[in-house]
Amino acid sequence: MAIHCPVAPSLRIPLRALALVATLLAGGAQAADGFPQKPVTMVVPFSAGGPTDVVARSLGAAMSKHLGQSVVVENRTGAGGTVAAAHVARAQPDGYTVLIHHNGMATAPALYRKLSYDPLKDFEYIGQVADVPMTLLGKKDLPPSNAAELVSYVRKNQDKVNLANAGLGAVSQLCGLLFEQAAGVKLNVIPYQGTAPALTALLAGQVDVLCDQTTATLPHIAANKVKLYGVTTPSRIRALPNAPTLQEGGLVGFDMKVWHGVYAPKGTPAPVVAKLTEALQAALKDPAVSKRLDELGAEIVPVAKQTPEGLRSWLRQESDKWQPMLRKAGAVAD
């Protein structure tokens, strides 16, 4: 005989909702059970050997110690980092594909009319990694010897001075745009798949200027293979104590640093995200990582930022900061 167990109408929906939540939680727990059971792919949006790649490889190697599986770096270049971000937004949400990206996550929506993903909606946030200052460089035989001279030189040669960058959405592009705005000049922009090939072109004297991160530029500055016009942060940096800031060089209000975050596709189960965040935090405590990043002029962010909420709120803040300015500047692609 069937036993009828009456449930008050007002309880029916909440009970059903509770059952759904329980199912989802069980699924999530299962998804995290034993995770990871195979290598995790960390997608880098720019070329191998460049600044994002350098941070990714150092972080990935240390995360793999904690996860017990390798973290394999995959370089997917193109369209200022948006090709890689779109790829990860569409990947299986199982924790086995993650993205490391920088400020480009905040700037791309203002730069690409047909962006196929929303950085604020289509990802789970693992945490922030490190902040990196940038350096404005010229090829070795470029005539100007400081930032003020560079501004006059570009004014006299409007549209003729070549700036290499890594495409719309790259920090090298953002830095170049800030330079153009602060100096009231126009540069002839030459995009590359990352600043690794752009730096090679600068060293070979094929382009005139490049704004790139200390993680890539310090050895070339130390070897005196490039001209250093200044650092992009408002204060001088520990890695280059004698280098003036661009503000000191007369570029009023110039203030830019690069920040990195790690993302997973939307829908990655919360327990998997938690494991990835735990591995990221463990990696950033690893003395080999802090030594390597310190040598490269990068600064590991405080633990509160190495969290999903730390990354999500920072991304929102940076989106609100840069997108109106970029929309006004009108540097837009399809």
CB of 28 to ligand MLT, least distance (A): 33
DSSP-based three-state secondary structure for 241: coil
Q: Indicate the residue among 129 and 273 with the shorter CB distance to ligand MLT.
A: 129
Nearest distance from C-beta of residue 84 to ligand MLT, angstroms: 11
Query: Taking CB under 6 A as the rule, does residue 123 contact ligand MLT?
Result: no
Residue closer to ligand MLT (CB basis): 50 or 95: 50
Task: Give the separation between CA 144 and CA 81, rounded to whole angstroms.
Answer: 31
Q: Which is nearer to ligand MLT, 45 or 271 (CB)?
A: 45
Binding range to ligand MLT, per CB under 6 A, among 5-13, 23-31, 167-175, 242-250: 167-175
Q: How many CA atoms lie within 13 A of 66 on its CB side?
A: 18
Instruction: Give the C-alpha separation, 153 to 78, whole Å.
Output: 31
Between 175 and 279, name the residue whose CB sits nearer to ligand MLT.
175
Residue choice 67, 136, 171, 201 for contact with ligand MLT (CB under 6 A): 171
Residue closer to ligand MLT by CB (options 67, 131) is: 131
Q: Provide, rounded to whole angstroms, the least separation between the CB of residue 193 and ligand MLT.
A: 8
Instruction: Please list, in sequence order, all residues whose beta carbon lies within 8 angstroms of the beta carbon of residue 25, skipping any fewer than 6 positions away.
Output: none
State the Rg of the chain over Cα. 23
Q: Strand pairing partners for 168?
A: none
Size of the site for ligand MLT (CB under 6 A): 14
**Alpha helices in 68-194, H assignment, sequence order:** 82-90, 104-111, 147-156, 171-183
The secondary structure of residue 80, as a DSSP letter, is: G
How wide is the angle at C-alpha 287 spanned by C-alphas 281 and 292, nearest 5°? 100
Type of residue at 64? S
297 binding ligand MLT? (CB under 6 A)? no
Cβ of residue 166: shortest distance to ligand MLT, in angstroms? 4
Q: Which residues pair with 257 in a beta bridge?
A: 133
In the window 28-87, what residues touch ligand MLT (CB under 6 A)? 46-47, 50-53
At residue 202, what is the residue type? L
3-state secondary structure 311-327: HHHHHHHHHHHHHHHHH
Site string for ligand MLT, 253-292 (x = CB under 6 A): ----------------------------------------
Task: Indicate the DSSP class of residue 47.
Answer: -
Q: Does 194 interact with ligand MLT (rule: CB under 6 A)?
A: yes
Site for ligand MLT in 201-240 (CB under 6 A): none
Give contact residues for ligand MLT (rule: CB under 6 A): 46-47, 50-53, 102, 166, 170-172, 194-196
